[in-house]
A and B are shown apart, each in its own frame.
Chain A
Amino acid sequence: MSARSNILNKLRAGLAGTTPRPDDFDEGLVTTPWQYAAEDRITRLRTLMEAVHTEVHQVTSAQWPAKVQELLESRGLGNLLYAPGTGHGRQLAVHWQRSCAKVQLMVYDRPIEEWKDELFWKVDASITGTVGGIAATGSLVLWPDRHEPRLMSLLPPLHIALLKASKVEDNLYGMMQKHNWSAGLPTNLLLVSGPSKTADIEQVLAYGAHGPKELVVLILEDA
């Protein structure tokens, strides 16, 4: 007998004569306490994210590339990993050319195995899009794909995320239902709610444990 059948048989024997419990999921319990007026949604998200050391800026969809440039230059950073195959990537590239920005643009265009060392140690910052935000917990939803792979939002010490104001939902349950997540998830879906942190030594909070030391969120107010 295989381990699989032994385990399943034991479990089935334990359930002999019982019926499954009904599904009495009460969605009100995970939605009602977490609903916000449209004008409070962004404030809530911002407050929660700032409470865990996230830098948040509200900008327009025309201005944000200049803001990115300013963020990088003020920190004296040398390069930025971006995705030229996305709409926001193209917009960034256009701005970079026009403004003759000095910060070098880098592209995640080959499998990780081909440039692991460089990606782990040499990239200063990255910029990615998000598919939305969650006001209740102050979270970003990242849906990594070919253009913006999983590690793009994890390895660089500074991660800049673009969030369209219209894509902020009240709570996780609403986000899940609205976008019908149960019908199909990507290989890796992420909720990100701040820069990497730990409190493993004396419960003293320290940022920049293994992931980004800084998270900057640019909320595009007119998008």
Chain B
Amino acid sequence: MSRAQENSAGRDPLPAAAVGLETQHAVAQFLYRQAEILDDRLWDDWLALFTPDGHYWMPAAPEQLVGEGQPNIFYEDHYLMRVRIGRVNHPNAWSQYPPNRTGHVVSNVVVEAADPASGDLVVRSKFLVAEYRNDEQRVFAGKYRHQLKKGPDGYLIQLQRVDIVNVEGPFDYVLQYWI
């Protein structure tokens, strides 16, 4: 469906909420912090970004609407993320010798929806990730969509959707942790 058709159906495919500069700034800072946490492999800080029932989700196809009960590239709650962290930190995680290094750039931050009562947000953004390991560099590009809960200490991720542009491509693997 084209943009025009979407609009004639009364739905904006790229909704944006009118939010103040302060909110825009705060959410951008939150996304930058998440990117730094990944690049620096600060796993306790990573887990603390999510609500207790939060999920990190990378669908296996762009048209997927839910993660539950579907094939996914990533679909992880706290417990599965803890397994992954435990593995990456384990001395026998052979394919982490040498470990990979990443550099994340997050940009194009658009607040899609804002709940005036709770302060909860839905935020779209774009990312570029360069990964280096074993003399090889790979690049991943795509978009994030964060559903954020506003708490007393700032935002927490209820659901982070990650769509990579090469979603159906062959991989040796994507990343051994999150993009």
Instruction: Report whether chain A binds chain B.
Output: no
Instruction: Report B's interface with A, CB cutoff 8 A.
Output: none
Instruction: Report A's interface with B, CB cutoff 8 A.
Output: none
